[in-house]
A = this chain, B = another copy of it.
Amino acid sequence: MTVADLGEHALLARILARLPRPSASVLVGPGDDAAVLAPGRNERLVVTTDAVVEGVHFTRAYSSPADVGHKALAVNLSDLAAMAATPRWALLSLVLPGSWLVADVEDLVDGLAALAGRHGVSVAGGNITRTDGPLVVDVTAGGEAGPRRWLTRGAARTGHEIWLSGTIGGAAAGLEMLTDPGSRIPDPGCAARHRRPEPRVRLGVAMGRARAAKAAMDLSDGLADALRQVAAASGVGVRIDGNVLPIDQCAREWWTNRGVDPVMAATRGGDDYELLFAVPPRSGGALRSVARHVSDPPLTKIGVFTKDPLELVIDRAGKQDALPEGFEHFAHR
């Protein structure tokens, strides 16, 4: 059986089953947005790694080298934000085709360095290696969280409210606009959400510090995937209100004009890098306090975690749809 036959989630499960049990200083091991380690009694080191691959996560026709550098770091800062960790450092591993122009490599580094600078992240090291295949930019990011302030995927409980940052759908619609041969000028807002996702660093950290949320995850593979993963890790169900979903206006118009249901498309689409939180009803005060300090992006209550782990539904005024399946990276195309 090949990797493509088995699929990413099942492959991950097989790999995890083969790893030795981590030591006691690993507080959160494989399977969450990032790992949490306890090198000392009061420090929590949060580390994550994520790669962007040419031809899979981007193509050079639609993204500049600076976009690629930005995105490679952004997806990692998003993972740290989803753990409520403050990012501190990053390592840049470049797997480079010899045919790349040096000027393009420099632009890529500039795109990454600019985002690093905005978040006070030190590029502490890295590696360059040659490949005969496509470009791979693999970034590892490290950060800090206070003891018991980090947020996992597995702590959502029945009755917790589901809160979502910002808007969704723009990145998926933007990629469709860029790659659709019949499309004229892509909407710049939607295209930018595909090319330059903004990691929600301040929001994630504030939610952890204020103890407003119990669980969190980022939307790298879409809202439906994130909801399914949090529900599975927490042993709960999900009911969201399709009529209140904050969908990017450019995406809503794009899909509506093509006869596609914007709610289902935005729920399925990936690459938004917004954050999803499980918030106990009694934490409303803490949540409002966070929203006052971090007003951008806004937070929207989109539903509730429910008791039945088999319930994964989008409700629109009584009409119910099943939550779409998550995006499958290894699916046969």
Protomer copies: 2
Q: How far is the CB of A7 from chain B (nearest CB, A)?
A: 10
Q: How far is the CA of A69 from the CA of B24 in the complex (A)?
A: 24
A11→B105 contact, CB < 8 A: yes
Q: How far is the CA of A124 from the CA of B34 in the complex (A)?
A: 9
Candidates B11, B20, B56; contact of A102 at CB < 8 Å: B11
Among the 9-residue stretches A39-47, A165-173, A258-266, the one with 4 or more Cβ atoms under 8 Å from chain B is: A39-47
A192 interfacial by beta-carbon distance below 8 Å? no
29 intermolecular pairs with C-beta atoms under 8 Å apart = A2-B102, A3-B101, A3-B102, A4-B98, A6-B102, A8-B128, A11-B105, A14-B102, A15-B105, A19-B109, A20-B113, A29-B124, A31-B125, A37-B88, A39-B88, A47-B91, A48-B125, A49-B140, A50-B93, A51-B129, A53-B131, A56-B132, A93-B138, A95-B95, A95-B136, A98-B332, A131-B134, A133-B134, A140-B140
Question: A residues near B, CB below 8 A?
Answer: 1-6, 8, 11-12, 14-15, 18-20, 22-23, 25-26, 29-32, 34-35, 37, 39-40, 42-43, 45, 47-51, 53, 55-57, 88-89, 91, 93, 95-103, 105-106, 109-110, 113, 116-117, 120, 122-134, 136, 138, 140, 142, 144, 329-330, 332
Shortest Cβ-Cβ A-B pairs, 10 listed: A133-B133, A4-B98, A22-B122, A35-B124, A35-B125, A140-B140, A49-B91, A138-B138, A133-B134, A49-B93
